[in-house]
């Protein structure tokens, strides 16, 4: 099963991605994580990506599409994959259609008023990528899943979050229509808290899709 996770910044894509990939044995491919990894290592891609991610803008399509196209040729993708944060505009979606076969698009709809607090309060595990919110951590600084150190993403500040939300509305939201026309969209309400409740709804639908 090959899936896409669609949703605004902070909708809960990463949070659901860990749960979905664990349950269905899918490879979790997050373009955001790939860029952050490259920035950390100081690679050429990282140096380029940094200037865009820091402003909340999209990294140029030719770079992003090439990374995903290559990643999908790796052997582990044969068991199925989950794309998190890709595609992010119509060009990327049309390119993806040329080299991938997508079975379903999990679209997480959410009240935009919730996103600023979710993102500015987010803490992420350096080791496994699990997301938390400060309000539920009770002062903990390590990951409940793997014990890794928690950190705050550089783009999780009010100014950059504002830019990311604008980019989502202009460039990514039209993909809901694109995949609805392809008959692939699976709609969910991301407001459901805790994230386990939303996952139960997603699981019920994906169990049927997985057959």
Neighbouring CB atoms inside 10 A of 109's CB total 14
Picked from ligand AP5, Mg ion, none, the partner binding residue 132 (CB below 5 to 8 A depending on kind) is ligand AP5
Helix (H, G, I), strand (E, B) or coil at 90: helix
Which 150-189 residues touch ligand AP5, going by CB under 6 A?
Answer: 155, 164
Subset of 118-137 contacting ligand AP5 (CB under 6 A): 118-119, 121-122, 131-133
Q: Rounded to the nearest whole angstrom, what is the least distance from the CB of residue 131 to ligand AP5 in the complex?
A: 4
C-alpha distance across the termini of the chain, in Å: 10
Q: Select from 4, 6, 27, 56 the one that contacts ligand AP5 (CB under 6 A).
A: 56
Q: Which of 36, 88, 118, 123 is catalytic?
A: 88
Does residue 88 carry a catalytic annotation? yes
Among 36, 118, 123, 164, which one carries the catalytic annotation? 164
Query: Of 14, 56, 129, 190, which lies in the binding site for Mg ion, with binding defined by CB under 5 A?
Result: 14
Task: Tell me whether residue 75 or residue 148 sits nearer to Mg ion (CB atom).
Answer: 148
CA distance 61 to 157: 24
Cα 33 from Cα 28, distance rounded (Å): 10
User: Of the two residues 27 and 198, which places its CB atom closer to ligand AP5 in the complex?
Assistant: 198
Phi, psi (degrees; rounded to nearest 5) at 100: -145, 155
Residue 198 binding: pick among ligand AP5, Mg ion, none (C-beta 5-8 Å cut-off by kind):
ligand AP5
C-alpha dihedral (188, 189, 191, 195), degrees to nearest 10 = -20
Residues ≥6 apart with Cβ < 8 Å to 208: none
Q: C-alpha distances in angstroms, 209 versus 14, 15, 105, 175?
A: 21, 20, 11, 21
Nearest alpha carbon to residue 21 among 211, 208, 202: 202
Is 36 labeled as catalytic in the residue annotation?
A: no
Does position 194 bind ligand AP5 by CB under 6 A? yes
Rounded Cα distance, 158 and 52, in Å? 16
Q: Judged by CB under 6 A, does residue 85 bind ligand AP5? A: yes
Contact residues: ligand AP5, CB under 6 A? 7, 9-15, 31-32, 35, 52-53, 56-59, 64, 85-86, 88, 92, 118-119, 121-122, 131-133, 155, 164, 190, 192-195, 198
Contact residues: Mg ion, CB under 5 A? 13-14
């Amino acid at each position: 099963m090959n899936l896409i996770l669609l949703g605004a910044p902070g909708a809960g894509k990463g949070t659901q991605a860990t749960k979905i990939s664990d349950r269905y044995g899918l490879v979790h491919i997050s373009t955001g994580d790939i860029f952050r990894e490259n920035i950390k290592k100081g690679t050429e891609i990282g140096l380029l990506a940094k200037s865009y991610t820091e402003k909340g803008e999209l990294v140029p399509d030719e770079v992003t599409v090439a990374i995903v196209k290559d990643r999908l040729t790796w052997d582990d993708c044969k068991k199925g994959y989950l794309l998190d944060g890709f595609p992010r505009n119509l060009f990327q979606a049309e390119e993806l259609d040329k080299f991938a076969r997508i079975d379903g698009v999990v679209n997480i709809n959410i009240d935009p008023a919730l996103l600023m607090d979710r993102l500015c309060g987010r803490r992420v595990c350096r080791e496994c990528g699990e997301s938390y919110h400060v309000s539920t951590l009770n002062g903990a600084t390590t990951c409940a899943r793997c014990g890794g150190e928690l950190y705050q993403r550089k783009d999780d500040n009010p100014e950059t979050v504002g830019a990311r939300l604008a980019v989502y509305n202009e460039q990514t939201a039209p993909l809901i229509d694109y995949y609805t026309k392809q008959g692939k969209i699976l709609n969910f309400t991301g407001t459901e808290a805790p994230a386990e409740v939303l996952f139960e709804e997603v699981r019920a639908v994906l169990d049927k899709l997985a057959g």
